[in-house]
């Protein structure tokens, strides 16, 4: 930070205590070194204030340790609806459920938020491609809701008979976007038995082709996509999400639910592109089917640990993955009742510090892990697949590079 005064003749400021203590002197140089004062002043200014727009890059670079945000945390970001081709974004404080309009971003198509990191969000929307019965694709956007900046990532090869799944991993300033897609039929083509079909008095055997699924990664540092090869399995289809992009980033890895069959499975990938399939194996013994894993199963980042929330009729189980290396295991953190009834449809779930936040068609629900208490309120009905994520305002550009 540059000096406000002349270095050769620093102006002396003389102060005296009301209690009669001896006077002491302070130079402007001394004041400048109290950076927290300057940061506090900036944090109270509106984002559009001229000093912010003029010096935001210099200030962010100056106070990067490794990522310092000059704005106060607003906790939750919520995409409310698409109105007149605009994405309307709100912040919400989960203790009071008060919602504030953050920004309205122009968008040519219906857009869905899939991740929030370091003050920017990742959104996707469907792409119309040739031969819609065979190929499909997504546009992937990086958006800073505070500045209104948007970045459309380069388009890639369309996916064959499989809607791509997207996951975002992030560091202090950079990020990586993982895109899992189907590159087509395996070569040589492998025929797999599917079923018998009785037609016109004859029994036919129906086969299907084995498909090849691959992953490519976009790095904000290089600005290009790189194919990292085949994946062992794919993220599962999510009935209540318009895109199969439900994932969570925890401890340097992205996690997707891959299967709910039998004991369930999770697909993970680290920043180096190494994949792993994790078996849940949560329930043992003589458990009733309705008391085991259900379709209402969600992955969350609970205070830095991968956690699984499983909703049952009127109650829930919260599991947390603890340990490292060969000593990793699932621990049942808590079992409790919920305000989510049999007829409630859960549209989104996330975690903010020690609070699990759940959105249904009719209400917000917030569960405090420490106190084991729920808070809830009706929201009057939300439309167009609302999503909710932890969020903090920042100046970080969509490119991820300062």
pLDDT at 211: 84
pLDDT at 55: 45
Place of tokens 């727009």: 53
Q: Provide the mean pLDDT of the chain.
A: 76
Q: Please tell me the total number of residues recorded for the chain in this structure.
A: 402
- The model's pLDDT over 184-196, given as tens digits with 9 standing for 90+, comes to 876 545 566 666 7
Burial class (CB in 10 A: 0-12, 13-18, 19+), 400: buried
Query: What is residue 227's DSSP assignment?
Result: E
Which helix (H) or strand (E) segment is 215 a member of? strand 211-219
Q: Which two tokens mark 16?
A: 């005296």
Q: What is the mean pLDDT of residues 379-384?
A: 64
Place of tokens 């208490």: 373
Higher per-residue pLDDT: 292 or 217: 217
The rounded Cα 255 to chain-centroid distance in angstroms is: 11
Q: Which two tokens mark 69?
A: 């945000």
Reported confidence tier of residue 288, pLDDT bands at 50, 70, 90:
low
Tell me phi and psi for residue 38, to 5 degrees.
Answer: -65, -40
Query: What is residue 327's DSSP assignment?
Result: G
- The model's pLDDT over 245-277, given as tens digits with 9 standing for 90+, comes to 789 999 999 999 998 887 889 999 999 999 999
Tell me phi and psi for residue 196, to 5 degrees.
Answer: -100, 145
Which helix (H) or strand (E) segment is 304 a member of? none
Q: What is the mean pLDDT of residues 90-104?
A: 82
pLDDT at 224: 95
Phi-psi region of 221 (alpha: psi -120 to 50; beta: other; left: phi over 0): alpha
């Amino acid at each position: 930070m540059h000096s406000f005064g002349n270095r050769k003749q620093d102006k002396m400021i003389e102060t005296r205590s009301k209690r009669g203590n001896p006077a002491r002197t302070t130079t402007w140089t001394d004041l400048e070194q109290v950076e927290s004062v300057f940061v506090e002043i900036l944090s109270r200014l509106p984002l559009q204030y001229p000093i912010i727009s003029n010096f935001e890059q210099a200030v962010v670079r100056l106070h990067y340790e490794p990522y310092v945000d000059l704005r106060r945390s607003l906790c939750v970001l919520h995409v409310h609806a698409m109105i007149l081709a605009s994405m309307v974004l709100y912040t919400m404080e989960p203790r009071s459920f008060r919602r504030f309009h953050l920004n309205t971003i122009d968008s040519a198509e219906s857009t869905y938020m899939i991740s929030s990191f370091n003050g920017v969000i990742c959104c996707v929307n469907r792409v119309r491609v040739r031969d819609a019965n065979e190929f499909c694709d997504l546009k992937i956007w990086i958006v800073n809701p505070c500045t209104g900046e948007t970045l459309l990532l380069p388009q890639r090869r369309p996916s064959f008979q499989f809607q791509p799944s997207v996951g975002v991993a992030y560091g202090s300033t950079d990020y990586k976007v993982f895109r899992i897609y189907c590159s087509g039929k395996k070569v040589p083509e492998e025929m797999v038995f599917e079923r018998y079909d009785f037609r016109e008095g004859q029994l036919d055997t129906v086969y299907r082709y084995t498909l090849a699924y691959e992953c490519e990664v976009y790095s904000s540092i290089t600005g290009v996509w790189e194919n990292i090869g085949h994946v062992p399995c794919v993220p599962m289809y999510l009935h209540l999400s318009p895109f199969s992009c439900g994932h969570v980033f925890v401890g340097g890895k992205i996690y997707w639910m891959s299967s709910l069959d039998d004991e369930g499975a999770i697909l993970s990938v680290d920043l180096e592109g190494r994949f792993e399939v994790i078996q849940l194996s949560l329930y043992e013994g003589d458990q009733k089917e309705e008391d085991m894993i259900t379709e209402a199963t969600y992955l969350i980042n609970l205070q830095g640990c991968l956690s699984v929330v499983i909703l049952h009729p009127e109650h829930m189980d919260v599991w947390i993955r603890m340990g490292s290396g060969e000593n990793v295991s699932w621990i049942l953190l808590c079992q409790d009742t919920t305000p989510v009834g049999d007829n409630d449809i859960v549209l989104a779930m996330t975690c903010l510090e020690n609070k699990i936040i759940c959105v249904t068609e009719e209400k917000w629900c917030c569960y405090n892990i420490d106190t084991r208490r729920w808070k809830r309120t009706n929201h009057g009905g939300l439309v167009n697949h609302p999503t909710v994520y932890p969020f903090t305002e920042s100046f970080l550009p969509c490119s991820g590079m300062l």
